[in-house]
Structure 1
Amino acid sequence: MTHHILKATSKTVHLGGFSHLLEPALTIDSGDTIDVETYSGYYVYDKAPPEFLTPEFLDICQNLAAERQIAAGPHLLTGPIYVRDAEPGDVLEVRLEAIAPSLPVGFNAIRTGWGALPHLFVQPALKFIPLDLANNIAEFPQNSGIKIPLKPFFGILGVATPENDRISIPPGSYGGNIDNRELQTGSRIFLPIFVPGALFSIGDGHSAQGDGEVNVTAIETSMNGRIMLKLRKDLQLTTPIAETSTDIITMGFAQTLDEALEIAVKNTIDFLKQFTNLSAEEAYVLCSLAVNFRITQVVNSPQKGVHGMLPKAILPNQISL
């Protein structure tokens, strides 16, 4: 197994979407680890304070080649990473071994026509929020005494599909813009693979976010991490599943929350049938008794997200994914 360092440069990032036609930024073997660098704020860099900007980030914003500008999404992603021997139908296990903000500032943006209340908050707004990295908090509003714990995670963890210009905004079976705040250091996510090499990309760092991400953004942050990518030919999935130290996380994505919840419940039932040998009816009852279904996000149009938290402690045997 090899350890790699993948810096974010104008040669190793792509903007706005995913494409299987992109030249890989890195090629690895299954089980390799990667120190990965990501930047956020491509479209607001000209309004940012100096501490938000690095020479490398400015070079990306000013010189990113047209062929690495994939679609109209706002996200700057590092990758894609090609995993040798990965084939459609396999599963990519992504272990999140370390996640940390790289700069002492992030931003939050309200975008006209987006968010949970677009009819009430019609004017765009952009706020840069200092991060107290020593104490792991952000105070917002400044001098209010309201201190938000920093719980960093990557909003986007996704693989390419046969579509060559898939926009980065909605999540789906490929992962993508999941925006699940539970996917912090120590967690794992399992993604179905759709094209040779998987072509995994990562970005959209969030220092803090509430479930729902209701005004469109979190504290959007340039983020560094260490990940391990492992090819799983022993698993078969059609939708992402994740695991933390305490829970199995199932997911549902759809155009309404009702539909997303229905899909998340069905995916939880399917998981329980496969890994605990419960009947469908028993699994459905258990979902009602012990699984916590939460709103992941309501803003990544056209897909809203719901995730189910299945506590591992209630199960008689350790589930090993």
Structure 2
Amino acid sequence: MAHHSLKATKETVHFGGFSSDLKPALTVHSGDTIAVETFSGLNIYDQAPPAFVPPEFLDICQHLAAERRVGGGPHLLTGPIWVEGAEPGDVLEVKLHSVTPRLSIGFNAIRPGWGALTERFGEGHLRFIPLDLENSTAEFPEGSGIKIPIRPFFGILGVATAGTRNSIPPGAYGGNIDNPELQAGSRLFLPVFLPGALFSIGDGHAAQGDGEVCGTAIETSMNGTIELTLRKNMPLSSPIAETPSDILTTGFAETLDDAFQAALHSMVDVLSKLTGITETEAYCLCSLAANFRITQVVNSPQKGVHGLFPRALLPPQIRLLEM
């Protein structure tokens, strides 16, 4: 298997969404690993301190071509990556070997009309937050003594679908999942919709609470090493994942009730297929041992809920690949 390096440049990133028309930034084979760079904050770079805008990011902000601006969203993504042999109906496994903040600074923003409490907090608000990478903490507000643990992850991991779509709402294709459980050591499984899969990654988060209620996390540029593997016999209709501690299912819908039901349906299906127990037994097992959390409430029009089932409760040989 080969190892690749994908730098974030104006030729290898795209802004605002996903598109089947984008020229791939890299071509890989199943099982290859990629050291990938990402930047965040293109739409606020001109308000940022110099530490947030290294020269290579400034070049992207000032010279990104119009054809690599798609979808109308606020996210800068690296990719797409073409995976040789990927076909609709396949599953793309994304293994996260490492996730590391690229800069010692991030930002948090409230945007008018965006967030969980838009009537109470209707004005725009932007703050840049230093990251203490040595101690893996971020103090917020500065001088408060409140130290937030840094738990870096990529908010967006997704594949393209036909046409063009905005980067904000997540879905069966993954995309703006914004799930802080997807730390290094996790594996995410995404349905493939187009030849080559056209996988893109970005939206680095240094820290985020479940819900992401004000609309953003500590957004920052992020580097990582990922491994992309095709799974040809793994029927899947929505993203699922395996973290170092849990089996994880996702649900996306316009209401939290519907998102929760989608995550629960997926968990029942996964547990039944993995263990051989009946769907009724899996449903009861979810009531006994699964936990469901609000992923995010701000990626309109799709809210997110994820389910977690402890891997420690399952026989040690059981893994998602055995579905």
Query: Do they superpose with TM above 0.5?
Result: yes
1:231 is displaced (CA, Å) by: 0.8
Which letter maps to 1:312? Answer: R
Rounded to whole Å, the distance in 2 between the matches of 1:10 and 1:308 is 37
1:80 is displaced (CA, Å) by: 0.2
1:208 is displaced (CA, Å) by: 0.2
The equivalent of 2:236 in structure 1 is: 237
- Write the deviation string for residues 192-232 of structure 1: whole angstroms up to 9, x where unpaired: 00000000000000000000000000000100000000111
Q: Would you say the 8 A contact 1:78–1:201 is kept in 2?
A: yes
The equivalent of 1:136 in structure 2 is: 136
Which letter maps to 1:209? Answer: Q
- Write the deviation string for residues 221-268 of structure 1: whole angstroms up to 9, x where unpaired: 100000000111121111100001110000100000000001111111
Question: Could you tell which deviates more after superposition, 277-286 or 215-224?
Answer: 277-286
- Write the deviation string for residues 144-194 of structure 1: whole angstroms up to 9, x where unpaired: 1100110000000000011x2100000000000000000011001000000
Q: Would you say the 8 A contact 1:294–1:308 is kept in 2?
A: yes
Which letter maps to 2:67? Answer: E
- Write the deviation string for residues 68-91 of structure 1: whole angstroms up to 9, x where unpaired: 001110000000000000000000
The equivalent of 1:294 in structure 2 is: 293
Rounded to whole Å, the distance in 2 between the matches of 1:4 and 1:40 is 22
Classify the secondary structure of the residue corresponding to 2:93: strand
Rounded to whole Å, the distance in 1 between the matches of 2:243 and 2:262 is 21
Which letter maps to 2:246? Answer: D
Rounded to whole Å, the distance in 2 between the matches of 1:52 and 1:275 is 45
The equivalent of 1:83 in structure 2 is: 83
Q: Would you say the 8 A contact 1:211–1:294 is kept in 2?
A: yes
Which letter maps to 2:184? Answer: T
Rounded to whole Å, the distance in 1 between the matches of 2:240 and 2:306 is 10
Classify the secondary structure of the residue corresponding to 1:205: strand
Classify the secondary structure of the residue corresponding to 2:57: helix
The equivalent of 1:150 in structure 2 is: 150
1:318 is displaced (CA, Å) by: 2.6
Rounded to whole Å, the distance in 1 between the matches of 2:86 and 2:108 is 37
Moved over 4 A (4+): none
| Counterparts of residues 175-194 of structure 1 (less than 5 Å) | 175-194=174-193
Which letter maps to 2:234? Answer: L
1:117 is displaced (CA, Å) by: 0.4
Rounded to whole Å, the distance in 1 between the matches of 2:235 and 2:34 is 25
Q: Would you say the 8 A contact 1:94–1:188 is kept in 2?
A: yes
Classify the secondary structure of the residue corresponding to 2:202: strand
The equivalent of 2:247 in structure 1 is: 248
Which letter maps to 1:180? Answer: N
Which letter maps to 2:306? Answer: H
The equivalent of 2:196 in structure 1 is: 197
The equivalent of 1:274 in structure 2 is: 273
Classify the secondary structure of the residue corresponding to 2:261: helix
1:317 is displaced (CA, Å) by: 4.5
Which letter maps to 1:91? Answer: V
The equivalent of 2:303 in structure 1 is: 304
The equivalent of 1:107 in structure 2 is: 107
The equivalent of 1:97 in structure 2 is: 97
- 5+ residue gaps in structure 2? none
The equivalent of 1:121 in structure 2 is: 121
Which letter maps to 2:83? Answer: V
The equivalent of 2:217 in structure 1 is: 218
The equivalent of 1:63 in structure 2 is: 63
Which letter maps to 1:245? Answer: P
Rounded to whole Å, the distance in 1 between the matches of 2:17 and 2:253 is 19
Classify the secondary structure of the residue corresponding to 1:172: coil
Rounded to whole Å, the distance in 1 between the matches of 2:121 and 2:62 is 31
- 5+ residue gaps in structure 1? none
Q: Would you say the 8 A contact 1:312–1:318 is kept in 2?
A: no
Q: Give me the CA root mean square deviation.
A: 0.7
Q: Are 1:227 and 2:226 counterparts?
A: yes
Normalising to structure 1: TM-score of the pair? Answer: 0.99
Classify the secondary structure of the residue corresponding to 1:171: coil
Classify the secondary structure of the residue corresponding to 2:196: coil
Rounded to whole Å, the distance in 1 between the matches of 2:126 and 2:7 is 27
Q: What is the aligned length?
A: 320
Which letter maps to 2:95? Answer: R
Rounded to whole Å, the distance in 2 between the matches of 1:38 and 1:269 is 35
Rounded to whole Å, the distance in 2 between the matches of 1:255 and 1:153 is 24
